[in-house]
Every structure is written in C-alpha cells, then in structure tokens.
Structure 1
Amino acid sequence: MKQKAQNRATREQLAILRQLNKAGVRYVAFGDYAMNAIDPARAIGNVQLWVEPTKANFERLDKAIQEVYGPRVLTRTKPELTENPQPRKMLTLGDGPQKVGLYPAINGFTPDQFGELFSRAQTNRAALITNRGKLDGSVAYRQLAVPDLYQNVRESTAYHKAWNIQTLEKYADDYRIDLTPVRPSSATQTAQESAKASPTNREATITPAQNAQKEPQPTPKPRGEKLVRDFDAIKRELDLEVVLQDYGFVLDAKKSKPSDEWLIYERGEKGSKERLAVYTGDKYGQKMFVDMNDQRGWRGDVIKFLERVENGIYRNVFKAVDRIMSSADYVLEKSVTSPLKQVKESLIDTKLREKDLHNRYAIAPLTDTRYLEGRSLHKDVLFSPEFNGRIHNIAYTTEKGTTHRNTSFPMYAQDGHLVSMDIRNERFKSFPSGERGEAMWHSNRFYELKAPLAMHDKPDLPAGTVGTVVRLSPETVSFNFVQEGKPQQVQLPLETARPAFKEVPAQRILVAESAIDAMSFKQLNPEAEGERRFYMATGGQPGSRQMGFIQKVLDRNPQAQFVIAQDGDNAGLRFAINYLALQHPAADPALRVKPDIAYSGPNLPPNPLANVLGPKFAFDPEIKTFSDVLKRFDVPDGNLSEGHKLAINHQARFKEIMPDDYVKVSVEMVQSVIPAFTYARAYGIPMPEEAGKLAQSEYMQMKVGNEFRVARERAMISPDEMEQRIQHHKDAKLEKDLYSGVNKLELELRQPLSPGGAGADIAGGRNEAFLHRFMDEMNRFTKQFNYNNDPNDKEKRVQEFQRETLVDPDQGQAVTRTRIHFPNDGRLLVKALTLLTDEINNRQGQSLYHVVRPTRQQKDFNDILQNRQGEALPDSSPLKMGAPPLIKPHTEIKAEQTAQRETVQSASESARTYKAKL
C-alpha cells in the first residue's frame, strides 16, 4: 500500500535520503526529525539518523556520500567508530541551513540493538511542501517506532525534552499505542539464555509449568510518572495579563478601553516592536494573545508565551510559573485584571492588525498627489479604475508631537484586510513595525454588470459593463469604469452590489517590487483595448508567504499571462527567476521546469566602526547624501532643525548665559545628531554648505573626534589602521553588491514518459539535452569575458553538482534534478533567466510567462518613466507589450497537438498510398 507523506524535508535532505536508500544503507531516524512526523506543526530542522555501526554499512554509506558530493575525503566515515560507537554526531551532510546528521549510537539503546529496532521501525515518507501546500519529491525513510522513540526521548538531554514527552504521550493516547518499552535483548543476553537452555545445562532448565509453581510471573512494568506538569491546570489558573506584566509588558491605555473585545500590551522598553492583543477565545474560554506585528504567527495561550520568552527551555518555564503563582501578590494582581468578552477566532489576526493600523495612522483617501506627480505619474493613472482606492494619504504623530504626512500604498492579506503599508515621501521609505508576512499591494479586481444598472439623471449602465469594485466602507462599494475614455464612478449599497456583479478574470497578472513601479509600468505600457490587468507588488524581496498569495491569484485566473516586471539589478533578476517556479494553472505539470536560485556572498572584511558603534554604522551604498544619513539616524525629514543648528553653533556660550535646563536640552539635541556627522565623516558623504560649516566648528570637531577615539580604543587599532579598514570594508561592500559572490541555482525538470520500453531514456534525454544546452550557453559567456583565468577560483566558473534523473512510474514522468553555481554577474543572470523562460514556454506550447526587464542602468520602471518625462514607450521599445495572448488549458493544447499529429500522419499515409498506386 502506498504510504502517505508524513514528514517534511528540504530538497537537499531528500536527495541525501534518496542516495542512502539507493546504496542500501541501514539507518533509522530519531530525535527531533522523528518527532516532526508525530507533530507536523513544528518547523523543518536537521535530520538525525542512527546508522548501523558495522564496517559493511559504513562502506555503503561512503558510497552514497560519494554519489551525492563526489570523492571528498572530509565526508568519509571513520572505520574505528564501529569498535566503540558513542551517541555523538560523527558526520554532517548538507550545504543548506537544514542538514543531515549521522550518529553511530543513540541514547536509550546499545549499538548491538540496532537490528532489533530496525526490524520494528516504521516506514514514513518525507517530501517537500510547495507554495500551494502540496507534497513534492516524496522519499521513503525508516524511523524509530513510537515506543522506541519514547524511550530515546526519555534518555535524551534535549532542552525541550518535556515538550517532546508530552507530545508523544498525547499521540499514544490518541492512537492507543502502548508506550511500555519492549524488553531489549542484546547479543550477550541471547547467548546466555541459549547456554542456559542447552543440553549440558539440562539440570538448570526449568519448564514453564515448574516456573509458574515456584514464583509468580512478573507483571509488565508500568509506565513511569510523567515528566511534565499538568499544562491544562496551569492554563486555567495562571492569568496571562499578570504574566505579561511580570515580563515587562505594559497596557496601552490609549488603545485599550474596558469595553473593548481585546486589550493591547506593549513592551515597556524603547524600540520594542512587540504589540500583543489579549482576548478571551470562545473555543477554549481562556485568555489568548496574538502579536499584531508578527505575521509568522506568534499567538496562543500563556504556555505558548512562556515557551517563546524562555527559548523553549521548559525547566525555566516551570520556574517562572512557580515564581509568579507563589507570589504573595498574585491573587490581588489576578483580581485586578478585568474579565474580557469572549470573541470568535475569526476576529483575530488580520482584522486586529487592520484596526491597529487605523488607530496609529490617520489613513485617508488620496487627495495630495504632489509626491506621486513628482515621480512623473499622471492623475489619470492614479485614479484609474485599477488603482482608485489603492493609494492613501496618511498622517503619523510621533511621541514628541511632530506630525508627518506621507503617501502610502496599502498591503493586504489574502482575506482582504489591511495588514501593512508601503509608506513613501521624498527620500523616505518605511513600513509599519512588524512582519509583512503574506501582505501584498494589489490593484482592484474586475467585475461585470449582470443586468442594466439605473443611474440618477443619466442613462442606465448597460449589462456587460466591465469595471472594478472598491469597498469604501462596511456598507458601501464603488464601481469604477471607463466611459468614453474617461474614468467614471458610481457608489452602491453593498447589498445591492452583491447580486449585480460577477467577477471577470484578468488577462495579465503583473508583479513588481513596488506599487510605484507597477503604476509606472501601466503609464509606460497602457493596456490594449479591452485588456484587463491585475497588478501586484511585494514591497521588496518577495517572501514565501507572498509567493503563496501570488499562486492563489494565478489559480483564480487560469487564462492570464504572468508578467514578471522586476528591477534591473542582480537581486531583481533572481526574484524573476524564482517567479518562474510558480505553477501556472494552464501549464502541464508533467512538463514543468522549476528553478530556485539563491545568492551566497563572500565574507566581508570587518568594519571596526560598525562592530564597535553598532549596525547603524555599517556602510550602505544607497546612502549618498547627508539627508539620507540623517534619516538613517532617526531624523525623519532628513533636515537639521533650527534648534539643532542653534545648539551646535552656540553650545559653548550656552553654558555661560543660559539656565541649566536649557543647556541640558541643547546638549541632548547635539548628541542626537553626532552619530550622523560621524557616519558622514567616516564614509566621505558630502554635506550641504550650512551643515559643512557646522561640522567644521570646534565643538563638533571635538565631539565627532571623540566618537572616533572611543571606537579606536575599543577596537584597539591605530587611527591610520582604522581608516584603512573602513575603506577596505567600503570597497569590498561595493564590489560584493555588483559582481562578487555565487548564484546557486537548483533546477527540476519533468518530462512525460514516451510509450514503449525506451520511454524513460527518451524523456530523460530531453531533460539532459536542455541542461547540456544551458551549461554550454553559460560557459560560452564566461569564456567570452575571461572568467576562467584562475582555474582554482570556483566563484568565476559555471559548475554543476548532484545531477540525477529518476523515473516516477506512478505519474509517468522522468524527473531530473541538478544544482548549478555561477558567478554573480548580472549578464549571466539575464542569460539564465532568458534560457529558462524560453524553455518553459516552448515546453508548454504557449507564452505563459513574460519577462519585462529594465537594464541595470535603468534601475526600475519609475526611473524609466522619469527619464521619459512621463511619456509612454514607443512601439520599438523592447519593453513594449502587445495585446495579451490567448492562454488555453494544457489539456486543450495537448488535444490540438494530437489532432495535428494525426492529420500529418494521415496526410503521409495518403501520400504513400498514392505513390504505391502510381
């Protein structure tokens, strides 16, 4: 019977397990990885394998390692480990963050018991989880049976031992598994028992009946007392709010009222980003929390909170529980916390985050367009049906009472709630505190009128009118459409709108790095007549949850071409390559080409300034003006205030003529901007005339010089050496951002098996042919630019590792996987992106993916738009797109290809028949 995949692993871990199975290595998984199969909610970690410590098995292990990594001496086992194996790691396999650890022995068992445990081990399957939640690349592996795993965990010294024991006991109770340890029989014990039962010891042999008369049969040893506390009792008795206050959280009285369904707690210390909403869930009737600034999901009950703050060390968790509950003031503190209304789980998370953002920012519709028009964006684009309502003006008031007004692009979760914002202004970019998670900025979706719509004092809108719908309030929506070339708008009650419209799929889905780039693309490349586009922006580097969001949008629009419009730098090119791994719903999965690329940069030389004064003093090539420096050091508008200038100019005189309070304030103002002057001096950032004069004053020279002196003393280097190291770090950082480092590309190619016995060879050969062509093109490029002058410099060559072709008879496919490393040159990235895009579209027989790529000099689409002073692209531009292609389901494409082949074969047969008659 085919096993269901129960565990997760990385692509590299699966490749290692596959080779171990192929070589016949005897192993069993234990520890945390075996626990993952019991509790799949845990994160993917390292795989721990107990390898049978015999000479023959170690030889098979060395063979498997050689197949994966080549003949490397450092990854071979030591034969002497078979003589006295200890429960310590003997070898680590893998280059990624999650590795495979090999052990010759484990806690709780002797090495000679391996065969017995191996015979009763359970077979599971490990797989890679895709963005769509499906399992891919399944590999079978053996792991300790649950009772054996329970014994192994009880004998371990892991800091989360109590957690593992509780998980196993609950799992055993749910599935009625007896956790009583099976009495192990070592080889020595077996020999002794055999000797006792031999004919020479006949007088010592006792029959079972005699034994029953002499002494009673021993009863099975009951399971030992649980090593964990009663978590349910702790959750009932321990008040979450008291625990939060004990750990330094403070109730936000401005944002929390007694009548609210939830309360907001913040860290008391300055700069902390944790904002916890505390509520009582209706499911369990206990106080719960959720961090509104952590989209990765820090939420749960009081135990989950303690588990996080105590780093999963349960002995510390229990110490904290005992300390708080045994306090003399605990009963009083618990009575002071008011009971909270029970709320539904659906009210938490994104809805909470949206309410919190509205409380912190004054979010209003777009009225002030000066910033966007300064970026060459026209009003007809800003208020077009696609973008109307997707741009806001916001105001934010700091603790000092200063109000900042900016433009923001709202970023939404998949359920439609506002969870983050991309905040912009002149030389200013920011996001609200907290993780963005799956949040994406996107344009409005398209809808079509199902029946004529009555208009006040105007003719009815005909059925079939296509536009976008924006929800203005909980009760009102706006229908935006174009009529006679001009954007129009009509507002409707929500109840009236729901039955009046049906959604129309988009014909193109475009993803960019920023909302400004997406809008710039529309202005540079207006839609063809009747074309519908859905625009999306990630707000920077796309995360895995954002990729899942984009995949869901693709699934809803199976007839849309996917347009990748990333920046022209190396990072943007890597993003574009990774977008090709998204599964288009119209694509044939059996012909899939799945790339995954990551960047590995060289180690930079140490920067003494940053190491001593903190990360803010690390060199950043994007900081080019003194205004940028001031923003880096928390001067929001990037300008020195009149108070700063006055305090710097007259600091020496203030001590003589001003009161002490005024002197104290002026000193604090100067000290707040000293780091900015220090940074500018260190990296040669030019200063405006007025700021330059201030920097030359005796007081500032002394203060800035003192910063350097303290840094040098802490780093214990001379002034000249300090400057040399800073310059060395700056040069290396600039080189790293442009060319140095390695791109690591993992490729998976699928090809359906052809009918007949040679089907696997033909299918695998097609994959091999593409890889051969890919490597030839890339290597030809490196030779053209003389990358290979130094044969020992692996960063300057295109290299391939770990190619393997497997046949999956169940799905009828040949699957080829490989890893390719090549230099971090933008020209090579462009070559790889072009080859992969063309191969995918050629295999699928239609243009599913389209890449629109600015050059490095052009940087991004808004840069192109400003250079063109807001004018659209000419038809001759390589960035110009025509009408959207007609995308068909792969089943329809396959049927057309089959019909075409049959027509050709029929024509050939007719020609042969005609020739035969002649």
Structure 2
Amino acid sequence: MKQKAQNRATREQLAILRHLNKAGVRYLAFGDYAMNAIDPARAIGNVQLWIEPTRANFERLDTAIKEVYGPRVLTRSNPDLTDNPQPKKMLTLGDGPQKVGLYPAINGFGATEFGELFTRAQTNRAALITNRGKLDGSVAYRQLDVPDLYQNVRESTAYHKAWNIQTLEKYADDHRIELPTAQRNNPNVAESKQQPAVKPDTQSGPSEPTQKPTEPVTSPKPHAEKLVRDFEAIKRDLDLEVVLQDYGFQLDTKKSKPSDEWLIYERGEKGAKERLAVYTGDKYGQKMFVDMNDQRGWRGDVIKFLERVENGIYRNVFKAVDRIMSSADYTLQKTVTAPLKSVKESLIDTKLREKDLHGRYAIAPLTDTRYLEGRSLQKDVLFSPEFDGRIKNVSFTSDKGTTHHNTAFPMYAQDGHLVSMDIRNERFKSFPSGERGEAMWHSNRFYELIMPLAMHERHALPVGTTGTVHRHSADTVSFNFVEEGKPRQVQLPLESARGAFKEVSAQRILVAESAIDALSFKQLNPEVEGERRFYMATGGQPGSRQMGFIQKVLDRNPEAQFVIAQDGDNAGLRFAINYLGLTHPAADPALRIKPEIAYSGPNLPPNPLANVLGPKFVFDPEVKTFADVLKRFDIVDGTLSDGHKLAINHQDRFREIMPEDYVKAAVEMVQSVIPAFVYAKAYGVPLQEEVGKLAQSEYMVGKVGNEFRFARERAMISADEMDKRIQHHKDAKLEKDLYSGVNKLELELRQPLTPGAGGSDKAQQRNEVFLGKFLDEMNRFTKQFHYNGDANDKEKKVQEFQRETLLDGQLGQAVTRTRIHFPNDGRLLVKALTMLTEEINGRQGQSLYHVVRPTRQQKDLNDVLQNRQGEPLPDSSPLKVGAPPTIRPQREANVEQSVKQSTPEPVAETGRSYRTKL
C-alpha cells in the first residue's frame, strides 16, 4: 500500500504544479522536496522535479510554462537533453524565494527507468498551510516512493545526506516499508560508488562497474570521514553542556542553581540573544535544550544544536563531534557537569519563559497609573473587569544597578502563559529580549455560571450570571460581574470554579496594534448595555503565528463581529487588508474572498552621516528630543555619564579634574555624545538648555568640530554636499513612507456553482465582475494623480497579473486567483480596503468584518483620544460603532442569501460548541 502524505508549497509553486498536471506533464518529485513529505518539520524549500526526458513530454512542459507565465516568457526546454540526460538542473521556474527546479535525470537511476518508477510512485498532495494549520489550494503531485527515494538519496552528494538516510530508515521502520537491504546493511557499498567522503561537495558522473568480472573482488578503500554515523551513540555519549561551553555559552549562575530542574546558558558575547534552558527530558532520558527567546522552535538534543550552529553542514557537525570528544579534557569536563533531574516535556517552553520573565522583572499589579493617565486614559477604563490583571507595573534593574519603573502589558501564548511584555513609559518602548512569536496581549474572556454560586453573608449568585474570569493566582480565580449596575468581584478556588462556568461567545473581537489603542477604543466607544467585547493587540506588526492565535480566538467566538482597528498609516492599512483574509467561523467558505498584501519598496539613497560616523545615523521620525538621540548611541536610558555631566556643567571644572579622568571623559565624548550632536544638528533636533551650552562651548566647537570636519574630509564630502545629501535622504524617506514602492495584492475569490446549464459561467462571472469593478475603481482613482509627474507613466498604475479561474467540481466552486500591483498611496490602500470589506460582507449577507480606520493625520486611536481630551466619540464620527450586529450561523445566513443568489446550501454547518478549561 502506497504511503500518502501532505506536503507544503508556496502559492506560486502550487500554480506551477497545477499547470504541469493540466498539460499532462510526466514528472516525479525527488530530493529535498520529497523528503519534506516524509519529515514535515523541515522548512518549505525549492521543489525538485524529474521530468521524463522525451520530446513529447518536453513539448507538454513548454505548453505548461506558457500557460503559467504567458507568451512573453522565453523559457523553453532543450530537446537535445533527451539524447543524453544528465542529473543537472535544466530549468528553474518561479519568481519568489522558493522556486521549482526541473531535471532530465537524477542520481541512482537511468533515464529508461522513469516509466517503471512513475508507475509505482506515490501520489501526495501539496498545499498552502493556512494560519489555522489547515491545507488550502491543495494540488496532487507524484513523487518517488520511499524505497526509490532511499536509493536516490544514497546515490546523492548532498551535505545532509546522512540526515536524510536516517530519516528515511526511521520512516520505513515505522511504516513497515522494505528498503534495499544491500545498501542499508552495508553503507560502504553505496559510498564506494561515488566516494563522497573524499569530495562530498562535488557531483559524481555516471556510475561505472566497480570491477571487471574477471578481476578478484577487493575490499573498498577506507575513507577519511564516514557519512553515515550512529546518531544515537553520539546523543548518548556527547554531553550537551560541554558542547555549549565549547561554542562560547556560559552558565548563568544567578538564574541557575544545582537544585533547579533546568539550567540557563547564555552567550558571553555582547548583543547575543540566545538564552538556552538545558534539562533532561523524561521521554528520551537525554539532555535537551530550548531557546526561551526563540518561540519559532529552536529546541532539541545535542545534534539539533550542532545542526543550527554549523548551518546544517553535517561534515562540520561530525568534525565538531570528533574534536570535542577526542579532547584530553573531555572526560573531566563531562564529570564536572552534574546530572539533571528528569522533567516532563510539558514543563518546558512557555511555562519556562514565564518563570524566566518573573525572575528578570518585578511584575506587580497596576498601581501607578500616571503614564496611562498622561495618555488621556481614565481609571474606570484601566480597572474595568475585562482588563483585570491585564496591565502591570514592572521594575527592572540593569547591570549597572539602576532600577527603572515602567508600565507593561503582558503578552500571552495560546496556552495562557506569559511569554513577552509590551513595556511603556514616556518616550520609551521596549520588549524583553527574544522573539514574541505567537504572544498577544488580550482582555479577559467571558463566562456564565451554570450552577448557583454560594456567597458568604449574602444570597447566592444565580445561574446565568455572566462576567469575566481572570487567573488571580496559582490556585484562585477572580470572577468580575455587574450586579444592580455596580461592578462586583469574587475570589474562587480554582478547583471549584472549573465546573461552575461555561465560556460565552463575545459579541465583538477587536484587534489593534497596541494595547493602548485597544484601551482607547473602549473609552472612545463605550459598550452598550450587555455588550461583550474581547480586545487583542499584537504589539506592532502582526506575525504569522499571531495571525494563527487570532484565528483560533475567532473560531472560539462564532457569534462575534471582527473589528479591525489598525493605525492610519500605510502599514496599518496593509495589516487591515491581511486581517480580512482570516476565516470567520460564521462565513460560508464557498463565498470566501481571501486577500493577502505585501509591500515592495525602493532602495533609499545612502545616508552620508552613516559613511562619516557609522551606521547608527539613520533618519528616524520618532526621534524628537536630544534624549531620544542619546538612546541611539548606547547611552543607557538617554542619560549622561559622570564624565559627560562634568563637561556640561562647567568647562573650567572639566579642565580641573585629573588627567586620566579628563582622558576618560574625552573618550566618552568622542565615542557617543559627539556623534549625537552631529545627528541632532543634521536633523534639526532641538537641544535642551544645558546641552545647548555644551554644544557652543570651546571644547565642542574646537575639538569636536575638528573631529567631524576631519571625518567628513576623509569621506571626501564637502559641507554643502553633505547638507544636500542629508536633505535628499530625508526627502526620499518621507516619499517612501507616503507614496513610493508597490503594493502587491493576491486575491482568491470563491463562488458556488449553481445547478443546471450555465452554472459554471454564472459563478465565474460574479468573480470577474467584482475584479473588473475593483480594477476600474482603482485605476479611475489613480487618474487624479500623475505619479512621477508623468501622466503616461503606466508603471505606477494599477496592473493585474496571472489571473486564473478553476472550476472545482468536487467542491462545487469556481475559484479565481489573481495578483494586482498598485502604487503605495494611502488613498489607494483605503480604496482597496473599503471595497474588499464591502464585498466580503455583501457576499456573506452580514457584517462579519468592521474596519475602524483613523486617518493619517490622526495616526492611531490613542492620538484621537488625546485630541478629544479623553471624551467619547460623537454619534456622527466615522469611528463610532453602535450596538453589535447579530451574527447568524452559516446555514441560517445562507437561507437569506439563497433568495438573492442561486447558491446551494452547504452540506455541513460550521457552528461548533466549545469546552474551556480555566
């Protein structure tokens, strides 16, 4: 029985496979892409296809290429390759980072064997992985079956050959697949055919007989390095802690104690972000590691660590293994590292990250609200039930012993553990070291009592009481509710609360870029009586894992309207368009419109200050004061050192200090403050009074001015030319933010096929009509503006590429996909966002998505709130939202839509019920 697997691919790779299938091209996937189907943990890479080397098949290949890229593409196959095909790439298809490589032959097989291998090949499906983890746009393709792939890998010369062999052998054992025994039991037979151990990075030629029939059999020559190693023996004998120390990692003795279940290792060099927790997993009984600052998943055993640091080159991995284990000090080093207690796998990852954050920061409940009130946020909003425990005060002590107090918004993983924070203060914004990954700030969820709740010295809370629940401590929860118009709170033991509540769907889910914007939305748009809202914030640009988190929240709240409240700049508008690509659980998937937009910007002219004084001289519109300038030059918190202060307070005092102190202060001035003065002068940043005195002092005008003048002369830039280049850089940066560059929008539109004659034409027509209207409206809008000052400049206008419509009879849908490019003009982005939102809601027959869009001048929702001095919005404001709409389940909405559209009712209903654990 053939093993079937599901592989991943990019949108462009899927389109190429789809057209190859349509044209009847005979091909087989091999190499790394075939391995991806065996080991899905690997990253999406290039697709390698063995094309049957016949002239008829090459003609079909040319037809498919023309269908994908149009007649303007000159790429063609070479028919001469059918005479003597070699295992070398003959064509590369694709414009993106992941491409499709075509080969007329592969290692391990002759060209005449293609038909036999094609007959027994396995059929897999390739698809785009959505944020929900499901497959989208699935396309069938054929690849070598496991035994043939094993032979192909054995004959290859890839640097990760040993890894592939081990993966295939383990897969074959798990699925009871018979592999070629001669090769598997005697790896030297395969190695002697091409001698990869001597020159592992060269391509071997056609294999020749190893000996003549009349000659005696000789044993294979010894190799300098084995390509097949016993990985299990290495993992068992090689101590992970010794390896970490060999690569420059140091034990954090402040955070690690001998009695701890895990130890913390960090790189000794400045600026390194890796923070590894080492533990012994009870599942494998070996030392494992996990990087608490890399939620993308750098974790595993000692081999996984060496793979990463050696960039996956196994020759170097094995050299490092042999070098460390053959060291005279290895045995002693191994005995020094104490054995660690075995821990459950569930203790690692997000829970470990949470414990580490609590160890580095003093996280306390919100008591100091001065910063937030300075942003026009009122206390009744900050302490409302849905934000109970979701805003903190934090303290952090630097290596120099300075303690800083700030406001923080905790960001949580999907399992509820704290994994990051959005830390704020006046002109200060920071996140803990490490990637945020899926971490999101969000408000508390809503729950309803399903049994009476006994209260001390008062009547019991009745069934149906609704409020928010927050985990107050390890064994208690807080239940916040409203009674007789007044907010109430009760503390409950966790165990008794588990069976007392059921989750209630929110009526609105709002996502913003920052938690402050989400709080501002609540104050600008107070809830109507009984309204339930769930607030979320990404802490900046949303990542793919955060999009998956938001999608799961949507799935859990099928009756909620999704409110998109991004900033008013071009980047915020693009985020809003991409949020429309999330799947609402109440939406009919047969009527889906999925947009995905990306930005491609021009290269800026070089900043001349970077050539003179280093790469820190990059124009930043957020730099408004000299303290902001100092932060760009590694001066902690924008404060001056004692040497700087001496120089600022009085020049005479500066000269009176000891010579060595004078030298120290002078070095500090030259290395940090001098470039900062130049930066401030170049970009017109005002200097505070005492700093301004220093800028006019003899020291700064003389010594500092000479230092800068010499640097400029070394760069061969005159003073006038420097000013011109700085202004040119500033103008180009401003133009890039406003208009320059191209937005690349990919659209997928689905429409059900109506029964009867002409049903496919009607379904396709609706998609075509919207696209025609969309392009007409966008192009009509661009006629008002002459980009680049040229009315005939077509490169900056709206253009469409690669439109295709597929009729999927199995799903009963017409699927149209296209790519549209248009200028990076905020007005065009607003037009696209508005038209897409209206079309999606119109097709679904209900307001599933709602966009709250501040203007560019308003910037964001908190800016709107401050301009209104904390007052709510009037009813006439376009940012005002009323009572939440009633969102009907998919089947119920389709009944109403069927009158307007001849669409069949879906077979299954997407509404689901959920159980939630506190």
TM (norm. structure 1) is 0.89
Q: Greater shift after overlay, 112-121 or 131-140? A: 112-121
Cα 1:445–1:266 shift into 2, 3 Å: same
Matched residue, 2:750: 750
Distance in 2 of aligned mates of 1:773 and 1:5: 41
Matched residue, 1:179: 180
Root-mean-square deviation (CA, aligned residues, Å) is 2.9
Note if contact 2:646-2:654 (Cα within 8 Å) is conserved in structure 1: no
Cα 1:81–1:606 shift into 2, 3 Å: farther
Deviation at 1:655, TM superposition (A): 6.7
Matched residue, 2:44: 44
User: Structure 2 matches for 1:209-358, cutoff 5 A?
Assistant: 227-358=227-358
Matched residue, 1:371: 371
Matched residue, 2:417: 417
Deviations 1:847-898 (A, max 9, x none): 1111111111111000000000000000111111111111111111223455
Distance in 1 of aligned mates of 2:652 and 2:233: 64
Matched residue, 1:554: 554
Matched residue, 1:893: 893
Deviation at 1:661, TM superposition (A): 5.6
SS in 2 for 1:75: coil
SS in 1 for 2:635: coil
Deviation at 1:800, TM superposition (A): 0.8
Note if contact 1:655-1:663 (Cα within 8 Å) is conserved in structure 2: no
SS in 1 for 2:878: coil
SS in 1 for 2:499: helix
Q: Greater shift after overlay, 149-158 or 887-896? A: 149-158
Note if contact 2:613-2:675 (Cα within 8 Å) is conserved in structure 1: no
Matched residue, 1:541: 541
Structure 2: give runs of 5+ residues left out of the alignment: 184-212, 903-918
User: Structure 2 matches for 1:324-473, cutoff 5 A?
Assistant: 324-473=324-473
Q: Greater shift after overlay, 682-691 or 610-619? A: 610-619
Deviation at 1:669, TM superposition (A): 6.5
Matched residue, 2:731: 731
Deviations 1:112-171 (A, max 9, x none): 654554444433221111111111111122223334433433343332222122222322
Cα 1:674–1:759 shift into 2, 3 Å: same
User: Structure 2 matches for 1:567-582, cutoff 5 A?
Assistant: 567-582=567-582
> Does residue 510 of structure 1 match 2:497?
no
SS in 1 for 2:385: coil
SS in 2 for 1:487: strand
Deviation at 1:485, TM superposition (A): 3.9
Deviation at 1:32, TM superposition (A): 1.3
SS in 1 for 2:260: coil
Distance in 2 of aligned mates of 1:155 and 1:633: 54
Matched residue, 2:883: 883
Deviations 1:80-99 (A, max 9, x none): 55566554434332222222
Distance in 2 of aligned mates of 1:85 and 1:613: 56
User: Structure 2 matches for 1:76-155, cutoff 5 A?
Assistant: 76-78=76-78, 85-109=85-109, 111=111, 114-155=114-155
Distance in 1 of aligned mates of 2:545 and 2:612: 36
Distance in 2 of aligned mates of 1:395 and 1:632: 22
Matched residue, 1:687: 687
Cα 1:668–1:661 shift into 2, 3 Å: same
Distance in 1 of aligned mates of 2:378 and 2:893: 41
Distance in 2 of aligned mates of 1:821 and 1:852: 25
Note if contact 2:670-2:704 (Cα within 8 Å) is conserved in structure 1: no
Q: Greater shift after overlay, 294-303 or 720-729? A: 720-729
User: Structure 2 matches for 1:619-638, cutoff 5 A?
Assistant: 619-638=619-638
Q: Which amino acid aligns with 1:802?
A: Q
Distance in 1 of aligned mates of 2:707 and 2:774: 53
When Rg is computed on C-alpha atoms for both structures, the one with the higher figure is 1
Note if contact 1:5-1:135 (Cα within 8 Å) is conserved in structure 2: no
Distance in 2 of aligned mates of 1:608 and 1:86: 51
Q: Greater shift after overlay, 666-675 or 230-239? A: 666-675
Note if contact 1:752-1:814 (Cα within 8 Å) is conserved in structure 2: yes
Cα 1:879–1:657 shift into 2, 3 Å: closer
SS in 1 for 2:387: coil
Corresponding residue pairs, total? 865
Matched residue, 2:644: 644
Note if contact 1:508-1:563 (Cα within 8 Å) is conserved in structure 2: yes
Q: Which amino acid aligns with 1:179?
A: P
Q: Greater shift after overlay, 253-262 or 651-660? A: 651-660
Deviation at 1:338, TM superposition (A): 1.1
Distance in 2 of aligned mates of 1:651 and 1:269: 37
Note if contact 2:643-2:664 (Cα within 8 Å) is conserved in structure 1: no
Q: Which amino acid aligns with 1:736?
A: K
Deviation at 1:738, TM superposition (A): 1.0
SS in 2 for 1:539: coil
Distance in 2 of aligned mates of 1:568 and 1:136: 31
Note if contact 2:442-2:537 (Cα within 8 Å) is conserved in structure 1: yes
Q: Greater shift after overlay, 399-408 or 893-902? A: 893-902
Distance in 2 of aligned mates of 1:653 and 1:688: 20
Q: Which amino acid aligns with 1:89?
A: K
SS in 2 for 1:229: coil
Distance in 2 of aligned mates of 1:177 and 1:3: 12
SS in 1 for 2:749: strand
Note if contact 2:845-2:897 (Cα within 8 Å) is conserved in structure 1: no
Matched residue, 2:29: 29
Deviation at 1:711, TM superposition (A): 5.9
Matched residue, 1:821: 821
SS in 2 for 1:127: strand
Matched residue, 1:75: 75
Deviations 1:551-588 (A, max 9, x none): 11111111111111111111111111111111111111
Q: Greater shift after overlay, 126-135 or 664-673? A: 664-673
Q: Greater shift after overlay, 876-885 or 684-693? A: 684-693
Q: Greater shift after overlay, 626-635 or 736-745? A: 626-635
Distance in 2 of aligned mates of 1:613 and 1:448: 61
> Does residue 782 of structure 1 match 2:803?
no
Q: Greater shift after overlay, 890-899 or 727-736? A: 890-899
> Does residue 63 of structure 1 match 2:69?
no
Cα 1:155–1:720 shift into 2, 3 Å: farther
Cα 1:373–1:642 shift into 2, 3 Å: farther
Deviations 1:4-62 (A, max 9, x none): 55211011110111112222333322221121112111011111223344544444333
Q: Which amino acid aligns with 1:834?
A: T
Q: Quick one: percent identity of the two aligned structures?
A: 84
User: Structure 2 matches for 1:799-878, cutoff 5 A?
Assistant: 799-878=799-878
Matched residue, 1:190: none
Distance in 2 of aligned mates of 1:820 and 1:276: 44
SS in 1 for 2:32: helix
Distance in 2 of aligned mates of 1:145 and 1:12: 25
Note if contact 2:562-2:848 (Cα within 8 Å) is conserved in structure 1: yes
Deviation at 1:639, TM superposition (A): 4.3
Distance in 2 of aligned mates of 1:713 and 1:235: 58
Deviations 1:187-242 (A, max 9, x none): xxxxxxxxxxxxxxxxxxxxxxxxxxx99xx9xx9xx9983211111111111111
Q: Which amino acid aligns with 1:740?
A: S
Cα 1:692–1:154 shift into 2, 3 Å: farther
Deviation at 1:549, TM superposition (A): 0.6
Q: Greater shift after overlay, 373-382 or 150-159? A: 150-159
Structure 1: give runs of 5+ residues left out of the alignment: 183-213, 903-918
Q: Which amino acid aligns with 1:400?
A: K
Matched residue, 2:914: none
Distance in 1 of aligned mates of 2:878 and 2:499: 43
Cα 1:742–1:477 shift into 2, 3 Å: same
Distance in 1 of aligned mates of 2:502 and 2:172: 50
Note if contact 1:147-1:180 (Cα within 8 Å) is conserved in structure 2: no
Q: Greater shift after overlay, 790-799 or 356-365? A: 790-799
